[in-house]
């Protein structure tokens, strides 16, 4: 039962993401390709990655990543700022133009508001705790150790 619920939720989240991604892709006034939208979404999700961190995450070469990033910079959807710690590195972040175009923040806020209306504060706190465990421990990215594990074999 739980396995089916998790599979269904994952499928629905994934389908919703792709549906919205390609709906935006069809909007010709953005001038973004599907690959550029994926790249911008990855930059947003990673926070403020460096070019190398972005390339590593996407499993592409640094020159390939730089090419995609420069295209997003030219179109005004990503900005590069010099790192305060290492002046040789640039940190990437999506611009307000991308956030406005994407609108994901509004959807998340609306979803959280509906969750708070439907469930008690205690249930919301437990749900938040469960999502944190799922995010940090049960679904680590490739090559990452789940939080709270010391050895890779403990992650299994």
pLDDT over 90 for what percent of the chain?
43
Q: How do residues 130-141 score in pLDDT, each as one tens digit?
A: 988 887 776 666
pLDDT at 156 over 90: no
Determine if the pTM surpasses 0.75.
no
Residues 89 and 121 in one domain: no
Dihedral pair phi/psi, residue 81, rounded to 5°: -125, 140
* Whether residue 108 sits in one domain with residue 54: no
Query: To the nearest whole percent, how much of the chain has pLDDT over 70?
Result: 80
Which residues span the domain enclosing 81? 2-102
Q: What is the pLDDT of residue 129?
A: 92
- Per-residue pLDDT band for 20 (boundaries 50, 70, 90) equals confident
Helix 62-74 × helix 34-46 angle, to 10°? 100
Question: Do residues 20 and 52 share a domain?
Answer: yes
**Do 90 and 23 belong to one domain?**
yes
In a domain, 59, yes or no: yes
Structural domain contains residue 147: no
Do 26 and 86 lie in a common domain?
Answer: yes
> Do residues 53 and 40 make contact, with C-beta atoms less than 8 angstroms apart?
no
Tell whether the model's pLDDT for residue 12 goes beyond 90: no
Q: Is 129 inside a domain boundary? A: yes
Q: Residue 52: inside a domain, yes or no? A: yes
How many structural domains are present in the chain? 2
Q: Check if the beta carbon of residue 31 is closer than 8 Å to that of residue 77.
A: no
What pLDDT was estimated at residue 143?
53
Instruction: Give the residue-averaged pLDDT of 104-112.
Output: 75
Please check whether residues 83 and 112 belong to one and the same domain: no
């Amino acid at each position: 039962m739980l396995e089916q619920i998790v599979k269904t939720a994952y499928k629905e989240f994934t389908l919703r993401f792709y549906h919205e991604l390609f709906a935006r892709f069809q909007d010709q006034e953005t001038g973004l390709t599907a690959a550029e939208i994926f790249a911008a979404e990855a930059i947003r999700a990673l926070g403020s990655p460096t070019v190398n961190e972005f390339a590593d995450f996407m499993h592409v070469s640094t020159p390939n990543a730089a090419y995609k990033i420069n295209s997003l910079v030219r179109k005004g959807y990503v900005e590069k700022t010099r790192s305060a710690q290492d002046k040789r590195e640039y940190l990437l972040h999506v611009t307000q133009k991308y956030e406005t175009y994407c609108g994901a923040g509004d959807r998340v806020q609306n979803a959280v508001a509906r969750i708070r209306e439907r469930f008690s504060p205690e249930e919301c706190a437990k749900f938040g705790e469960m999502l944190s465990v799922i995010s940090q421990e049960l679904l680590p990215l490739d090559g990452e150790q789940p939080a709270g594990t010391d050895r890779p074999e403990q992650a299994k």
